[in-house]
C-alpha cells in the first residue's frame, strides 16, 4: 500500500512522505472532522474499537475550532 501511495505522491508532485498511516490521519482530520462528521462515525469508518483510538488519529485543527465557535455564536444570537 505504501509503495502505491509513494507512486501517487510522485505523480502528483507531492513532496511530503505519504504513508497509509499518514493518509488515515489526514482523512480523519481534514476530510471527516473538518466536514462535521461526528467522531463516532469517524471511529466506525476507521474500524476502531473505542473513541480513544480515534482521538489518536483525529486532531482538532484551529480552523475547526474557529468554525465551530462561529456556529455557536450564530445559534446563541438567534436565542436572544
Q: How confident is the model at residue 73 (pLDDT cuts 50, 70, 90)?
A: very high
Sign of CA dihedral 54, 40, 42, 38: negative
Average pLDDT, the chain: 88
C-alpha distances in Å from residue 29, one per residue of 3, 40, 41, 43, 53: 23, 13, 13, 12, 14
Q: Considering only CA atoms, which of 57, 60, 56 is closest in space to residue 68?
A: 60
Overall average pLDDT of the 55-76 stretch = 85
What is the pTM (predicted TM-score) of this model? Answer: 0.67
- Compare 58 and 48 and report the one with higher pLDDT: 48
DSSP secondary structure, 42-78, as one string: HHHHHT-SSHHHHHHH-PPPHHHHHHHHHHHHHHHHH
pLDDT in tens, 13-26: 999 888 998 888 88
pLDDT tier for residue 30 given thresholds of 50, 70 and 90 = confident
CA dist 60 and 32 (Å) reads 11
Whether residue 3 has pLDDT greater than 80: yes
Amino acid at each position: 500500500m505504501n509503495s502505491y501511495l509513494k507512486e501517487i505522491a510522485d505523480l502528483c508532485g507531492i513532496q511530503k512522505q505519504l504513508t497509509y498511516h499518514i493518509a488515515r490521519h489526514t482523512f480523519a482530520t481534514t476530510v471527516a472532522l473538518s466536514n462535521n462528521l461526528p467522531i463516532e462515525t469517524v471511529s466506525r469508518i476507521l474500524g476502531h474499537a473505542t473513541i480513544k483510538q480515534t482521538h489518536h488519529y483525529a486532531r482538532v485543527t484551529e480552523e475547526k475550532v474557529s468554525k465551530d465557535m462561529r456556529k455557536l455564536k450564530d445559534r446563541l444570537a438567534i436565542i436572544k
